[in-house]
Amino acid sequence: MRPIIIAANWKMNTTPADAGALAAAITAATNEPEVVRVICPPYVSLAAVRDTLRGTDVGVGAQNVHAERAGAYTGEIAAPMLSGLATWAIIGHSERRRDQGEADPLIGRKLRQCLDHGLRPILCVGEQLEDREAGRAESVVRDQLRGVLEAAGLTAAEGASELVIAYEPVWAIGTGRTARGADAAAMSDAIRGALRENGWSAAAAEGCPVLYGGSVTAAAIAEFLAEPGIDGALVGGASLKVDEMAGIVARAAMTARARREAGGAAH
C-alpha cells in the first residue's frame, strides 16, 4: 500500500528565529503516525527545523538542489551540502520552472543528485492553463516525466523505492480557478501510465506515490484524498498555518486508515 504523504513547502517564508517554533507547533498539532509528514523550510531555516524535529517522525526537506555536486555556482546549494540537514528535496517546482526557467533536462540532473546523495525527491510536474484549454494537459505532463527520467538516467528499481511525484495544476494555483478531484485522479493515471511507458513494471508504477499540489487547504483536501490515485499533498501557503495543517493531516490520517482497512479486507 502506498504511503499517505503531506509535505509542507514553506517557500520564501520564516527565519531561523521563528522556524523552529512553527515546526514544533505543526508537529504537535499533526501527531498522526499513519501519515508521512515532511516540512520543507528555506535553506537558512533548515538547521533550526532539523533541531526542533530531532526525535520526532517528521521529516525535513529542502526546497531545491543544484544539478551539480560542487563547483563555481555562486549562491547555490548542492545535494551533498544537505547531508545531516534534510532527507527530502523538492525538485522541479512550478515556481522554479517559471522564475528560473528550469527545464526537464536540468530537473533530471537534480533528480540524479538527490538519488546519489540520500535525498528522497518530490518531483513536481504540471500543465499551464493554455495546455489544459488546448486538451494537451496529459501529454504535457507525460513529456515532462519522460524528459526528467531520461536526463536522470533513472532506473525503475531506483524510482520504485524513492520517487514521489507531485501534480501541480499550475492554472489552479493562486488564480481563483479550481481544480477538481477528478482532474487530479485523471492526471495520476496519466503519470503512472507515463512511468510504464518509461520502462517501469505495472507494479512499480502503481506503487509510486502521487501527491496533489494546487492551493491545498483543509477545506479542499478531502475531495482530492477521496480519489484512490492521490496519496497526499504538497501544501504551500496553508502549510504556514498550524490549524490548516492540523486539518489537512487529520483528513490524510482518515484516508490512510480507510485504505489500510480496505486493503486488509481485500486479503
What CA–CA distance (Å, rounded) separates 233 from 236?
A: 9
Contact 232, 4 (CB under 8 A): yes
- The question of whether 168 is a catalytic residue gets the answer yes
**Active-site option among 95, 168, 227, 244:** 168
- The question of whether 150 is a catalytic residue gets the answer no
Contact 42, 13 (CB under 8 A): yes
184 Cβ neighbours under 8 A, 6+ residues apart: 167, 169, 212, 214, 224, 227, 229, 230
**Active-site option among 93, 95, 138, 227:** 93
Sign of CA dihedral 206, 253, 34, 256: negative
At position 208, the amino acid (one-letter code) is: C
Could you give the residue numbers annotated as active site?
Answer: 93, 168
